[in-house]
Structure 1
Amino acid sequence: MSLAARALVYTRAFLGASIAGAVGVGIGTPLLVAGAGTESTGNLLRSERPLPTAFTRRLTVPRVLSPVRSDADGDHYRIVQTAASASIVPGATTRIWGYNGTFPGPTIESRRGRPAIVTHVNRLPVPTVVHLHGGRTPASSDGHPIDFVYPPGMSHHGGHGGDSMVGDTTHGSREYTFPLGQRAATLWYHDHRMDFTGPSVWRGLAGFHIHRDEEEDGLGLPSGARELPLMITDRSFAADGSFRYPSIDPGLLHTPGVSGDYVAGVLGDTMLVNGVPWPVAEVDAVQYRLRILNACIARRLSLRLDPAPASASGFAQIGTEGGLLGAPVRLDHLGLAPAQRMDVIVDFSGYRPGTEVTVVNDFDDGPMGKVMRFVVGRPARDDFILPARLSTVERLTAEQAVTTRPFSFRAGEVRGGPGWLIGQRAFSPGHIAAGPRLGTVEVWRLRADFHHPVRLHLQPFQVLSRGSEGPGPFDAGWKDTVDLRPAEEVAIAIRFDGYRGTYVFHCHNLEHEDMAMMANFVVR
């Protein structure tokens, strides 16, 4: 559906006087420091109850969802978005919003060229939008932020603080069609509703989507119990065990935004992996495939193994957001901004049985400086040999580009209050920031004031440069999110193919996204 057909009239009732002092309006300087040792743009939100004891609970793996039916059109799934109770912190239950009532939601597994048709039923008290992050998806199913799925009985004329918005909306449920004619990769799905993505994801609306193909199958990568999806998130808890989050409007219906110092981003004080605080996983002394997702709202991660293996680097990276790399990359640590994924092989055979291997986060200190722990068991049969070559990855160049577009990401004034801008504009559903032609390559030059993980929908891209240098150590392969650092310019190359229609690009620090750091592009 075109933006003209959406007939949008949008008046943003954006952020109240309660946070007017959090950003120097006009200068745009948010409060950035969460505490000594952090390398994230945001502020620490402390829990009101004692933190869970680390390394006492087992890692759990989200269950794989079975299709309700399969036919010539594809595999059909049904997911109910509902409130539920979860046991996350000791001595209390936490009310979550979950896909099928779980956090994380169930994992969908798909194969290249086999469509997944997912019906989402909304039984929450707010509108929702579902986005398959990393999916190469027609605009009608991509989850544009105003394509709401309203709960039964809620009028589409209701709005946020008096906003009037008309998108491609449904009531009660919506069928999303994902063609999935793309390379195997670690995808994920999450809520993407305009102005309220951050608190909705914070409450639990996120899950894995693992996409596979024959090329990847042919590599014989570790699988089954030796393939671990790891969704890393941070959360804070109220005294009663509920999620603590500084929404101006706790009902998430009217006034968007966060209060006080959290305009820069909300950083939790409890690290969760697959919804478990600081978990422990028992592993054999063999090679494992770890699919690592930074699903934090604002927190950046720098991960390493402690102790490191004696004979090799800690990680062999084999893939990124857009699938397999051309060849493995040996790394002693992994840098992941929010929404980024890394697919890595870890060889535990170099450790003695009984060794406790801690995944450390060097971007933070104290409790948030640790993520999870592996306990290494006895050696077992392991026939996997890491290939020297993994895939053929086409390389995009600046010379292929038909145009170059500059975009700045910075703090600024949004309707009289603090917010975040792209190209000196707050997000408006009716404004088009770029109109690339289908099949063409463009170079986008992205400039940042602070940390901004920039995400483009529809199509992966490649990093050409950082400042006057080439790509960074974590920029290899096809990406869908790039980590912009303070006062940095990054050039990326994108080929806009697949589908025509309206898509968005935005900062994936979700407080920044909710406070207007998003823009539309239309593939023509």
Structure 2
Amino acid sequence: MNRRRFLGLGASVLGAGALASVAVPSAAYLLREGRPGRLLDSDLDLPAAFQVPLPVPAVLQPVRTDGTNDYYEITQQTAALEILPGVRTEAWTYGGTYPGPTVVTRSGRAAVIKHRNQLPVPSVVHLHGGHTPADSDGYPIDLLLPVGSALPAASSMDGMPGMRHMAGHDLVGERTHTYPGKQRAATLWYHDHRMGFTGLGVWRGLSGFHLVHDDEEGALPLPRGERDLPLMLADRSFAADGSFKYPAADASLAVPGVVSGYMNGVLGDVILVNGAPWPRLDVDRAHYRLRLLNASNARLYRLELDPQPSGGDALVQIGSDGGLLAAPVTHDAIEIAPAERFDVVVDFSRYPPGTRVRLLNRFGSGRTAEVMRFDVSSRAVSDGATVPDKLSTVEELNPSAAVATRDFTFRRSRGDGWTINGDPYEPGRSVADPALGKVELWRFSTDLHHPVHLHLDHFQVIGRNGGDPGPWDEGWKDTVDLRPAEAVEVLVRFTDYAGTFMMHCHNLEHEDMAMMADFTVG
């Protein structure tokens, strides 16, 4: 796309004056192929790829159950972990591991999770993709202060520009989140959501899977057990002493955000899968379900198997952010933005025994072009798994039922920050007031690249730039990937829970530097 074509498209999507108001270093910066961020090089030698076995996060067991609820406890704590072979890295963790333990719940049963903060910093927990009441959603100033904190000192903590602190949101030591389970089977995840410091918290280890199961999914002949694999993809950089390297704006962590050179996102030079660098996995010649999660701060991936199986269509997508698709969709490659999830089935029986199948990142270069490797054994297994032509009955929202149309522009400010509709984030200031149970059409438009995330409910993408949805927009979504100068239309219906929720860019450096907004459901 040449410069004239790009600027013409930008004017039509964003309005004549929008691009002119974007403060960017140069036209060349604006015209990149929609892959944000700046690489942060590690200060130590990086390990060879495909030497470390793929770890699978442990499943968290409830401390007790009753007729309707399952109760869990998680302690947020520092831990010295061996992420790179032979090197110790201090991480902020859920339960002492990175990723944190996987929470497995069942639709219709409430998960009640008590978090205890023994970190050196405040935290906020958000269940990403969870259909959750406002008081358990992880609003970014609902701080959980470390055990022994002095509440007045923490309450005076500086926030983003324009923030007016809302008293009464802080708790010391422990906070309990209740997730009622009123949602279908899906691959969710939980992570830190503290205002101004989400990027730092996630980078240092505060993330984990939360999987929801239901009867509809359980009745399908999909891969199960050890062949149902959650895969958390994340890039990181390391200092010479093995610690996580991150360009925080303030070494004392009193000022949010990153130094100006990394405002468009931080990219690491080490690709981790489930916390291991470039791991490998021995697989049978059988079907595997891969629950792909992009838990990177800013990195985009274009995932592709190499070699491709004969006939292509290596990745059979069965689910998206919000659970099962109506029918499977086949891909040779998948583009996945930060916070998106893709559930895919791979049939490794299509490969000859002994094949070494690499999962590549076609958006990467050098070491970041590889993700992990699957080593196909000589054992052919009759696993009984298939992908049926029909997966689920998915309600399609009707555009004619929309009672309101709302426009939201995501772009860089003239200063050191990011905005929605021209404003940096301020807690308590709502930009929309949707009614419970009503369908609305929301239009997101961008200057640069922004993965847009909505809290409370999933949505359906109905168009891009006046045309059809993209190849990776199928199903219920909670995060949609927008490229530079692009406009996307979605239909959304908020249900069950009134209160204040959020939309924001899930490039975590954009989020931390004010690209968020409240909306109030009433």
The answer to whether TM tops 0.5 is yes
Letter in 1 for 2:263: V
In 2, are the aligned partners of 1:309 and 1:350 still within 8 Å (CA)?
yes
Matched, 1:160 2:161: no
Per-residue CA deviation, residues 401-445 of structure 1 (Å, 9 max, x unaligned), is: 1010000000004xxx41000000000002110000001011111
Q: TM-score, normalised by structure 2?
A: 0.92
Q: Match for residue 481 of structure 1? A: 479
Cα distance change, pair 293–450 in 1 and its aligned pair in 2 (3 A): same
Matched, 1:394 2:392: no
Cα distance change, pair 31–80 in 1 and its aligned pair in 2 (3 A): farther
Aligned residues: 496
Matched, 1:43 2:38: yes
Matched, 1:186 2:205: no
Letter in 2 for 1:230: L
Instruction: Give the RMSD, CA atoms, in angstroms.
Output: 1.8
Q: Once the 2 structures are TM-superposed, how far is the Cα of residue 224 of structure 1 from its aligned partner? A: 0.7
Aligned-partner SS, 2:417: strand
Distance 1:98 1:187 in 2: 18
Q: Match for residue 306 of structure 1? A: 306
Q: Once the 2 structures are TM-superposed, how far is the Cα of residue 25 of structure 1 from its aligned partner? A: 11
In 1, are the aligned partners of 2:287 and 2:386 still within 8 Å (CA)?
no
Distance 2:218 2:186 in 1: 12
Cα distance change, pair 30–296 in 1 and its aligned pair in 2 (3 A): farther
In 1, are the aligned partners of 2:306 and 2:358 still within 8 Å (CA)?
yes
Q: Which moved more, 1:154-163 or 1:444-453?
A: 154-163
Aligned-partner SS, 1:168: coil
Aligned-partner SS, 2:202: helix
Distance 2:114 2:343 in 1: 28
Q: Match for residue 209 of structure 2? A: 208
Q: Once the 2 structures are TM-superposed, how far is the Cα of residue 249 of structure 1 from its aligned partner? A: 2.1
Per-residue CA deviation, residues 335-361 of structure 1 (Å, 9 max, x unaligned), is: 110000000100000111110000011
Cα distance change, pair 38–224 in 1 and its aligned pair in 2 (3 A): farther
Matched, 1:62 2:62: no
Cα distance change, pair 519–127 in 1 and its aligned pair in 2 (3 A): same
Matches within 5 A, 1:71-150: 71-150=66-145
Aligned-partner SS, 1:106: coil
Per-residue CA deviation, residues 461-507 of structure 1 (Å, 9 max, x unaligned), is: 00010002110000000000000110000001101112100001000
Distance 1:471 1:70 in 2: 43
Distance 1:485 1:123 in 2: 39
Per-residue CA deviation, residues 97-146 of structure 1 (Å, 9 max, x unaligned), is: 00001100000000000100000000011111101001100001001001
Per-residue CA deviation, residues 252-282 of structure 1 (Å, 9 max, x unaligned), is: 3x21111131011000000000000000000
Cα distance change, pair 435–107 in 1 and its aligned pair in 2 (3 A): same
Distance 2:28 2:230 in 1: 30
Q: Match for residue 357 of structure 1? A: 357
Matches within 5 A, 1:282-361: 282-361=282-361
Distance 1:485 1:412 in 2: 18
Cα distance change, pair 229–31 in 1 and its aligned pair in 2 (3 A): farther
Aligned-partner SS, 2:83: coil
Letter in 2 for 1:110: T
In 1, are the aligned partners of 2:22 and 2:447 still within 8 Å (CA)?
no
Letter in 1 for 2:416: P
Q: Once the 2 structures are TM-superposed, how far is the Cα of residue 167 of structure 1 from its aligned partner? A: 4.5
Q: Match for residue 20 of structure 1? A: none
In 2, are the aligned partners of 1:432 and 1:522 still within 8 Å (CA)?
yes
Q: Once the 2 structures are TM-superposed, how far is the Cα of residue 396 of structure 1 from its aligned partner? A: 1.2
Aligned-partner SS, 2:413: strand
Letter in 2 for 1:107: T
Q: Match for residue 9 of structure 2? A: none
Cα distance change, pair 488–257 in 1 and its aligned pair in 2 (3 A): same
Distance 1:168 1:25 in 2: 39
Distance 1:336 1:31 in 2: 27
Q: Once the 2 structures are TM-superposed, how far is the Cα of residue 153 of structure 1 from its aligned partner? A: 2.8
In 2, are the aligned partners of 1:187 and 1:321 still within 8 Å (CA)?
yes
Distance 1:487 1:341 in 2: 24
Matched, 1:457 2:452: no
Matches within 5 A, 1:165-180: 165-180=166-181
Per-residue CA deviation, residues 174-214 of structure 1 (Å, 9 max, x unaligned), is: 01000011100000000001110000000000000010000
Cα distance change, pair 30–495 in 1 and its aligned pair in 2 (3 A): farther
Cα distance change, pair 392–123 in 1 and its aligned pair in 2 (3 A): same
In 2, are the aligned partners of 1:305 and 1:360 still within 8 Å (CA)?
yes
Per-residue CA deviation, residues 51-71 of structure 1 (Å, 9 max, x unaligned), is: 121111100000001000011
Q: Match for residue 245 of structure 1? A: 246
In 2, are the aligned partners of 1:32 and 1:42 still within 8 Å (CA)?
no
Per-residue CA deviation, residues 310-346 of structure 1 (Å, 9 max, x unaligned), is: 1341111000000000000011111110000000100
Q: Once the 2 structures are TM-superposed, how far is the Cα of residue 166 of structure 1 from its aligned partner? A: 2.1
The equivalent position to 2:493 in structure 1, one of 473, 492, 495, is 495
Aligned sequence identity (%): 54
In 2, are the aligned partners of 1:454 and 1:484 still within 8 Å (CA)?
yes
